[in-house]
Structure 1
Amino acid sequence: MSKVGIMVQVGRASEETANSKTLSTNLIMLKHYIFFTRNVMPQPGAAHLVHAANSADGMANLGYPSLLIHLSKEPSALNLTNLLRPFQPQAPSEELINLYNLRGKLKVAALPTPKLKSTSKLLKKATHPSTLIAKYYFPIHIRPAAQIVHSRDWNFVESAIKCGVPAIYEHHHHEEKQFDPEIVQNPLLQVAVTVADSVRESMIQNGLPADKIVKLHSGFNSVFLNRQPEQAATWRKQLLTNEQYLVVYAGALLPFKGVDLLLDVAQQLTHAHFAFAGGDETQVTAYKQLAIEKQLRNVTFLGHLSHTSLPGLLQAADVLAHPHCSGPASTFTSPLKLFDYLASGTPIVATEITSLVEFKSCNAIAGWCEPDNPDSFARCIQQVLETYPRKSEGYSHMIDYVQQFSWENRAAKLLSYVKDSMRPVLLQ
């Protein structure tokens, strides 16, 4: 290669590096809506990370500069570069985009987590993510980029308020810990949001002012609205052999979610095939073994499916099953998959639990039955199969109803509780 060619390549490389640095600098100079999770991303099957990614993405889709911050996938060596420049906002990876179906406007930043060989307790404490975030990452690197933060991590919210940054706190589960009065009374804590009335009550009992707490349901990604007739037909061809109907469950493979109950239902409804989407390898293996022990030939465990594959499966079903056992979790479980189900337009059979009964009046759920009763659930599925024939285009009243629960609508409602002066400025 000629010297001129080499000089041109070097020049282009230098220009690309300069442009990359400029982009990163410009992103940091912007005042962002920041959603933080103290988790490694991406992680298939983690519902709370689906919530995190889509909360940030929904805000970005409204036109606000939005940034999702999470811990880096791999622990990094403790080096000077990682310490001096740990905060590098950038476009999300293809893996992140595909897993959570992000729309391209959101930026992400992965915070390095040092990997130490030292046995020093002092050094380990100093480099623990909690310490790094509170004492170093937030005050020095994140604060200049933050207009407002949103997190389920109370320590992160506390760090933001102590640094003078407005905050939104998300809280989904019952806890006994009392909230710090100085933080909850601080005007920078704009709103605390939960998804269940019972959790709201426990938050009040633990010290959060009632006038700062709102209940907002989780949302759904609009990809579930897109009709996938070819994908649906492929799923039916793949799953249905001798059976006449397809019943689909999509969610965590956990007993309290009603998975074991649904296996008992499958024993009764041998003319239907039951497909389970979700769970990690260990859970899938365990349930496959349980199905063998129960001599079930009409069940399939598909494992975790991406958001690009799941909509077609939901639309392929004759009935979508939403079982749930009674117990403490039934009072606060978020109807995350209920909205995905509704967006598919496929008839739903749901259990009457505390966190779902408010949807009985909407007439978008085809059938309701009592919890912990496989006979009741089986009868309900059979009735729905007879009453609601499958429509490849879906039932329009369900699709129309669920539009209000998009992540973008949730983000807009959330911002309505934030003072104008504390909101990020819309991008031009």
Structure 2
Amino acid sequence: MLCARACLRAWGPAGAARPLLTPRALPLTARCAPLVRPLLTTPRAAPLHSQMRQLLKRGTFTLMRYTSANSAPQKTSKAVGYWLLSCSGMVFVAVILGGVTRLTESGLSMVTWKLLGERLPKTEEQWQEEFEKYQQYPEYKLKNKEMTLSEFKWIWWMEYGHRMWGRCIGAVVLLPAIFFWARGYLNKGMKVRTLAYCTLVGAQGLMGWYMVKSGLEDRFQGPSDVPRVSQYRLAAHLSLAFILYSVLLAGALKVFRAPPMNAAYNFTLSKVPELKSMTILAHTAKTMVFLTAVSGAFVAGLDAGLVYNSFPKMADRWIPDDILAMAPTLKNFTENPTTVQFDHRILGTLTLTAISALWIISRKKTLPPQARLAVNALGTMAWLQVALGISTLLMYVPTHLAASHQSGSLILLSLAVWLTHEMKLLRLVPK
């Protein structure tokens, strides 16, 4: 009864609302409710029955509303964060599958494209029909005339797996996005980012088919030509994948590594002179990792990794004779295999230098454990990535090493995104 009277004093006579029932008073109501409810069924509680019923009804409602307003966004953020992290993981796998598909020269085995997926051959007649479609295009006519049906099935399954995985990514991005949007799980900023995610996924799928079409066109003139997709479209396809992966990962980091909440609930970026050099180098390293990966797409598109398989010199020369053999000069940077490989070497070296300098500078700074771990991991991965690249080159681009090298570039980009996020947290101060 003392609990009941305390609740009544907080709520007021006859259930009249008072300003006394603030969020601070609500825990008292919550503690009283289990003790008061049994009293409502006893005859002695009759005089208080009406007032207490209103108290419990209103008090419980107010408590639930207060609790949901503070705890629901946290749960929602975690759900959205796990969704974004899952999507970024699937994009990571898609990049690996795409690299293996390119290295095994399986990308041109499927000569049609449908939004929801191509028909899966089930009988030998259907497989033969699919093989006959492939035989009408340049890759078979100029390169694979001796291919058997069983060999064709293997490269077809490689491309089919890559495409279907891409469609799964589209579903995993789009369907939860609709659910979260409809249920109010997304704030204004996340809604804008979600629209960007969906747009990038759609653009990535269309660019994939646009890239494959370039290898199916009748633009290969003689037996010496090697049917392949356009290196420009391959670079665009890979760049979109890296951008999509980066923004998904950054979105997940915004959820799981958000700034600590306090009474202000508002933060602003503040210039910290001691962190200026590290911040600039961290963003520079992230940009250079991306540009080096894009240059790697041109290397893959032109098979430039098979031109000069020595390091650090290229055929006993620091600068080979045919580096600018094409006219006009600018054409060499995207169409001359020698120049493309040379550029990739230079970009890789500059990226390693920037990350190493970043690590050295970080040793003189006082950093929290997460930022320290990020910069150490980035520095270690940079050296491992360079070692993988050199090994791939010296061993004439074996599939397993080349796929590892491409995966390493994505891991390196992940660590750079993580570090820049940690640097941003160090510059956040309450308003």
Q: TM-score, normalised by structure 1?
A: 0.23
Which has more strand, going by share of residues?
A: 1
Q: TM-score, normalised by structure 2?
A: 0.23
Which has more helix, going by share of residues?
A: 2
